[in-house]
Amino acid sequence: MSAVLQSLVNQPYKHGFVTEIESDVAPKGLNEDIIRLISAKKNEPEWLLTFRLEAYKTWLTMTEPKWQNVHYPSIDFQDISYYSAPKPKKKLSSMDEVDPELLRTFEKLGVPMHERAALAGVAVDVIFDSVSVATTYKQKLADVGIIFCSISEAVHNHPELIQKYLGSVVPVGDNYFAALNSAVFTDGSFCFIPKGVKCPMDLSTYFRINTEGSGQFERTLIIAEEGASVSYLEGCTAPRFDTNQLHAAVVELIALDDADIKYSTVQNWYAGDENGVGGIYNFVTKRGLAKGRNSRISWTQVETGSAITWKYPSCILRGDNSVGEFYSVAVTNNYQQADTGTKMIHLGKNTRSTIVSKGISAGHSNSSYRGLVRISPTAEGARNYSQCDSMLIGDQCGAHTFPYIQVHNNTAKVEHEASTSKIGEDQLFYFSQRGIDAEEAVSMIINGFCKDVFQQLPMEFAVEATKLLSFKLEGSVG
């Protein structure tokens, strides 16, 4: 069976094509002038330039972290182009005016934009190499008072919200890559759900890196006011290049009293070829602040792409009774590396968090779960349950677990469980005895293994994730 499966696993990267449109690329390198250039290009107000410059100064004083369980040649930050925008021919007033080449790209990707968007009922804010191209369903959302736009638009139209919240969850000096992002971020999504509004549809952003040698530094900010709720989807792809590309995004979520934010990611950046050449370095800072009482922040991620995935979507549970959730499936194959997990910082009383993490490693890949559960002295009656399971396919790969549990309050209840296993011969035998071939059996076993996480995904994403997973892993068992 291995030959058949082998051919399937070596399936070329589906989204690997370059769109030939004229890009407006800033010269490579990073200095104050580049930051001023980005700011000027985007016609930004003075306060944002100050924010960027401060972040840049902080970044200069920081050193690249070394503790992670991923290995990569050191990044030359002067060899990256920090701004790349499709050259706008004129101001866009409707979808029909969008560059047809661009639209074809999305068509190839199967992004449900334009008419196709209706099919999934999704409003897409498309980020194309850092600049938001078009936003759909804006009007429908505006009717209920929801602001959903690119962050550069928000800077002009809602500066008071941006000034209030930008950097409030992930401060500029939080970590090396967050500081870099704060200095050079080019675009991203902004979403504001006003008091008491339940967002009528799932919101979605589709990220894609197009220009070789450019970094993608997007910034996402989602605010849910009292009693509001929103489900946000993020999907990522990139064309294939032999050089490694850096993707250092920052995502900030803020949930006020009784608000509910659900953030789902399906990440399928280009992972490099079967020899580990090329691929995206996905170094992302994602953090949610459950600020209000009874607020809830839920992260769901399916990480299948990127040469290196290194991120910890986190929840700061400040409000009393707030809830943090983290559901993750991380699949690595060939020479991919993943060091991912979450941080649950319990500050408020009776805060609860759940962590379910499933790691699948195949080929020569390594995947690590690294998580922090911190119960502060103020978090009376806090509760955490963590479960992280790993599955190994083949004997060349590695699976690692690094849970940090820090408890400073004796009323807390913290539980952590982890296990490691492989697909058993007897399991496969059972399937074949029922007439199910090995390939399908593996796919079914893996889907069962990941079920707890997939259940958390919105419908369309769950389907996509299931498909992605079988693409990734076919051929690695045999």
Partner 1 sequence: MVINTDYLERSLELWPFTNTKPSSWLNQLRANAIDQASMLRLPTKRDEEWRFTDISALTHLPFRPSQPENIIHIGDVEHLFLKEAKIRLVFIDGYFSSSLSIFDPTSLTVGNLPMFLSSNSAYLESHLGRLAKYEDNVFTALNTAFLSDAAVVSIPKNAAVRDPIHLLFIATQNEVTSYPRCLLVCEEGSNITLVEEYIAHNNAKYITNSVSEFFLAPHANVKHIRIQRENLEAFHLANCAVSLDRASQYQSISISTGARISRYNQNVFLNDEAAECTIDGLTMISNQQLADTHSCIDHIKPHGTSYQQHKCIVNEKAHAVFNGRIVVRPHAQQTNSSQSSRNLLLSKTAQVNTKPQLEIFADDVKCAHGATVGQLDEEELFYLGSRGLSPATARSLLTYAFAAEVINRIPVTSLRQRLEQAILYQKSE
* Crossing angle (nearest 10°) for helices 438-454 and 425-433: 110
- Residue 383 C-beta: closest distance to partner 1, Å: 10
**Phi–psi pair at 449, nearest 5 degrees:** -60, -35
- Residue 406 C-beta: closest distance to partner 1, Å: 5
Nearest to partner 1 of 6, 411 (CB atom):
411
CA distance 28 to 458: 39
- Residue 380 C-beta: closest distance to partner 1, Å: 9
| Tokens, residue 397 | 């790969």
- Residue 397 C-beta: closest distance to partner 1, Å: 7
**Phi–psi pair at 372, nearest 5 degrees:** -125, 130
Nearest to partner 1 of 14, 408 (CB atom):
408
The 3 state secondary structure assigned to the chain is: CHHHHHHHHCCCCCCCCCCCCCEEECCECCCHHHHHHHHHHCCCCHHHHHHHHHHHHHHHHCCCCCCCCCCCCCCCHHHCECCEEECCCCCCCCHHHCCHHHHHHHHHHCCCCHHHHHHHCCEEEEEECCEEEEECCHHHHHHCCCEEEEHHHHHHHCHHHHHHHCCCCCCCCCCHHHHHHHHHCCECEEEEECCCCECCCCEEEEEECCCCCECECEEEEEEECCCCEEEEEEEEECCCCCCEEEECCEEEEEECCCCEEEEEEEEECCCCCCCCCCEEEEEEEEEEEECCCCCEEEEEEEECCCCEEEECCEEEECCCCCEEEEEEEEEECCCCEEEECCEEEECCCCCEEEEEEEEEEECCCEEEEEEEEEECCCCCCCEEEEEEEEEEECCCCEEEEEEEEEECCCCCEEEEEEEEECCCHHHHHHHHHCCCCHHHHHHHHHHHHHHHHHCCCCHHHHHHHHHHHHHHHCCCCC
- Residue 405 C-beta: closest distance to partner 1, Å: 5
Nearest to partner 1 of 404, 430 (CB atom):
404
First to last CA, the chain: 6
What is the separation of C-alpha 205 from the centre of its chain, rounded to a whole number of angstroms?
11
- Residue 423 C-beta: closest distance to partner 1, Å: 9
CA distance 245 to 238: 9
Nearest to partner 1 of 72, 385 (CB atom):
385
- Residue 426 C-beta: closest distance to partner 1, Å: 13
Nearest to partner 1 of 67, 91 (CB atom):
67
Nearest to partner 1 of 113, 399 (CB atom):
399
Nearest to partner 1 of 31, 406 (CB atom):
406
What is the separation of C-alpha 408 from the centre of its chain, rounded to a whole number of angstroms?
30
- Residue 387 C-beta: closest distance to partner 1, Å: 10
CA distance 262 to 251: 13
Nearest to partner 1 of 196, 377 (CB atom):
377
| Tokens, residue 68 | 């992670």
- Residue 122 C-beta: closest distance to partner 1, Å: 39
The one-letter code for the residue type at 270 is Y
Nearest to partner 1 of 250, 414 (CB atom):
414
Nearest to partner 1 of 78, 396 (CB atom):
396
CB 214 within 8 A of CB 246: no
- Residue 93 C-beta: closest distance to partner 1, Å: 54
- Residue 370 C-beta: closest distance to partner 1, Å: 10
Nearest to partner 1 of 146, 317 (CB atom):
317
- Residue 440 C-beta: closest distance to partner 1, Å: 21
- Residue 360 C-beta: closest distance to partner 1, Å: 11
Binding positions for partner 1, rule: CB under 8 A: 67, 375, 377, 390, 392-422
Nearest to partner 1 of 181, 368 (CB atom):
368
Nearest to partner 1 of 167, 403 (CB atom):
403
